[in-house]
Structure 1
Amino acid sequence: MTLVVPFAPGASVDLLSRLLAREVSRTSGDTIVVENRPGANGIIGAEFVKNAAPDGKTLYVANVGSHAINTSLYGTRLPYDALRDFSPISLLWRFPSVLAVPADSPAHTVAELVALARHRAGGVTYASAGSGSGGHLLGEMLRAQSAAQFIHVPYKGAAPAVIDLLAGRVDCFFVSYSSIQKQVERGQLRILAVAGDNRLAVLPQVPTLQEAGFDQVSLQNWFGLVAPARTSVPELRRIHCLFTSALAQPEVVRQMAEQGVEAASSTPAELNALMRRDIQRLGDVVRAVGAAVE
């Protein structure tokens, strides 16, 4: 069985996928190979799996970008239909982004960051992992609700954005906690808020954006398992059982939680409903901020 991951080796999603693949292999005896096919906001990996044989041997780690945001971001240019071309299996994990600033930033709260964006000449710059990414949309949500000057600086992935954040070349970044965990622990970066419904268990002292007064700034990053369309129902059920059993293992839950990630399985219908809901909800945001690729 091949698990296609649309991110580079060493990225947080890659590490989480390998953790889960090892557990499934250990408990089932099946050999699972993680294959990285990064690039183009998940399009490269998704198109590869779309065209794979529907025999249950090629699976894809779908996410809010590849299977929700991309639909409105690329429109008719998208070489796959997120709903029609895939068979949903289960949610795998989810996590909110966090709003991070360099350790020497004058902003120690979201309110202070907004004040800086309002009064500093040129405003405040915010990094993202690319135009149309979750971080981009969150930055635009904050700009809209605060009516402050937040200027988008897109990067090709989180890693180069973190490098520039550390160097002070950008002022802030909505990013996964796992992507900056080491830098936060070393005191190089500071987290102002969590862009989700709840505080992170690993960061109990950090408020949510809602608690900070910005209730319209929220986006749940989710990752789920899908197979090519027309994969047989018995095979989908078998794979669902393997992965949901692995997600329930205490060691898997613990290791994910340490990275600010919630292990979360679902039924195929629930994953399908989540995709449909976010295609509509986040599509509205993409269109509102003019992020769609022309």
Structure 2
Amino acid sequence: MKKRQTLARILAAALAPANITAVAANPDGTYPTKSVRLIVGYPPGGAGDIFGRLVANYLSRQLGQQFVVENRPGAAGTIAAAQVARMPADGYSVYLASAGDFTTARSTFGARLAYNPEQDFTHLTLLVKVPLVLVAHPSVPAATLKEFIAYAKTMPKQLNYASFGNGSTSHLAAEAFNIASGIEMSHVAYKGSSPAVTDLIAGRVQVMFDTVLSASRFTQTGQLKSYGVTTLKRVPLMSETPTLDESGLSGFEMATWLGLVAPAGLPAAVTQALALKLVAFTKDPEVLKQLDTLGLLVDGSGPAAFSTFIRLESARMDKLIKGAGIQFE
């Protein structure tokens, strides 16, 4: 209930009409001179859609033209991404990219992927990272990460971990955790977070990597316990929970992410105009308050750093997937 109320509150703010009359609507003809489509590869109402609307509303206010969210869900966002890659590189179609359709897509979809995430897009700004947290059923006899790893080593392949689905970030995080900690847990794939968490609370599986927003309400009530978050920084929504890095798994980081891209070949002036406002978005005090309630960590890396991130993260995910022997149908 608390998660739904939080999402509803953020959605109401995101859907509020942008007051673009307070910003000059570019009378000198500079970009943008008309409305812009911000395409989201998720259905309306979900966290990705809500975040996309926050970005759209902010850009509308800052750039003096409406940025209109257009939902095109399907195939983990890859259908929408493929369509955007073929759109004109004029700045009037931008896309909310994520790990699933960019940095793990090649391993997940192989030859079926109809675009190249590194070459077919102008990478504008890496906006946020979406941390996960390792949570367990209260019956697991370990109070800390160190105790949990020691316990898991006495029970190879006997502990079951839930995930959002095969190849999901929660699945990859658990396999990376297996490798980093030297343990062997068995994978139970679900169709999304909700059924996985339901079975975890019921004790039908023992652990999982869930989003901070989802898990925080259950750790607060004592239905689950947490061992660590998967980013290198602590998350304000679960500030009492240490990172896995500071708990002994040096350098461990595994999170999904959201950033804005456009078709390859975007004019430099348009790239700069968008990137400047997107970086400002990640520093805006009101925006930061909203992102904290969603369990997100801002990044704000501009075009060059974002491109480098996509290249390195794609290689890292390819190596993890091959090393863990993860198979996709």
What is the TM-score with the length of structure 1 in the denominator? Answer: 0.88
Contact conserved, 2:131 with 2:297, CA < 8 A, in 1? no
CA positional deviation for 1:247: 2.7
Mapped to 2, the partners of 1:284 and 1:122 lie a distance apart of: 22
Mapped to 2, the partners of 1:284 and 1:234 lie a distance apart of: 36
Counterpart of 1:273 (choices 289, 308, 314) is 308
1:137 maps to what in 2? 172
Q: Secondary structure at the match of 1:180?
A: helix
CA positional deviation for 1:86: 0.9
Q: Secondary structure at the match of 1:265?
A: strand
Bigger RCO of structures 1 and 2 (CA < 8 A, at least 6 apart): 1
Confirm or deny that 1:190 pairs with 2:225.
yes
Counterpart of 1:221 (choices 256, 269, 274) is 256
1:171-219 superposed Cα distances (whole Å, 9 cap, x missing partner): 2221221233333344433221111222223333212212332336422
Counterpart of 1:285 (choices 316, 320, 324) is 320
1:19 maps to what in 2? 54
CA positional deviation for 1:105: 4.4
Mapped to 1, the partners of 2:188 and 2:71 lie a distance apart of: 26
CA positional deviation for 1:123: 1.4
CA positional deviation for 1:19: 2.0
1:92 maps to what in 2? 127
Mapped to 1, the partners of 2:59 and 2:245 lie a distance apart of: 37
1:211 maps to what in 2? 246
Counterpart of 1:9 (choices 44, 54, 67) is 44
Identity %: 34
1:161 maps to what in 2? 196
Mapped to 1, the partners of 2:179 and 2:262 lie a distance apart of: 37
Mapped to 1, the partners of 2:263 and 2:109 lie a distance apart of: 21
Report how many residues are paired: 294
Larger radius of gyration: 2
What is the TM-score with the length of structure 2 in the denominator? Answer: 0.80
- Equivalent residues in 2 for 1:22-171, closer than 5 Å: 22-103=57-138, 105-120=140-155, 123-171=158-206
When residues 89 and 121 of structure 1 are mapped into structure 2, their CA distance, relative to the original with a 3 A threshold, is closer
CA positional deviation for 1:41: 2.9
Mapped to 2, the partners of 1:274 and 1:122 lie a distance apart of: 33
When residues 80 and 114 of structure 1 are mapped into structure 2, their CA distance, relative to the original with a 3 A threshold, is same
Contact conserved, 1:4 with 1:58, CA < 8 A, in 2? yes
When residues 34 and 180 of structure 1 are mapped into structure 2, their CA distance, relative to the original with a 3 A threshold, is farther
Mapped to 1, the partners of 2:37 and 2:90 lie a distance apart of: 11
Unaligned runs of 5+ in 1: none
Counterpart of 2:292 (choices 237, 250, 257) is 257
1:96-125 superposed Cα distances (whole Å, 9 cap, x missing partner): 321122355444322343344344586111
Mapped to 1, the partners of 2:101 and 2:138 lie a distance apart of: 32
Contact conserved, 1:5 with 1:36, CA < 8 A, in 2? yes
When residues 264 and 122 of structure 1 are mapped into structure 2, their CA distance, relative to the original with a 3 A threshold, is closer
Letter in 1 for 2:204: R
Q: Secondary structure at the match of 1:230?
A: coil
Contact conserved, 1:42 with 1:66, CA < 8 A, in 2? yes
Mapped to 2, the partners of 1:61 and 1:232 lie a distance apart of: 19
Letter in 2 for 1:276: R
1:228-282 superposed Cα distances (whole Å, 9 cap, x missing partner): 1233333222222332333322100122123332222222111101011111122
Unaligned runs of 5+ in 2: 1-35
Mapped to 2, the partners of 1:112 and 1:12 lie a distance apart of: 33
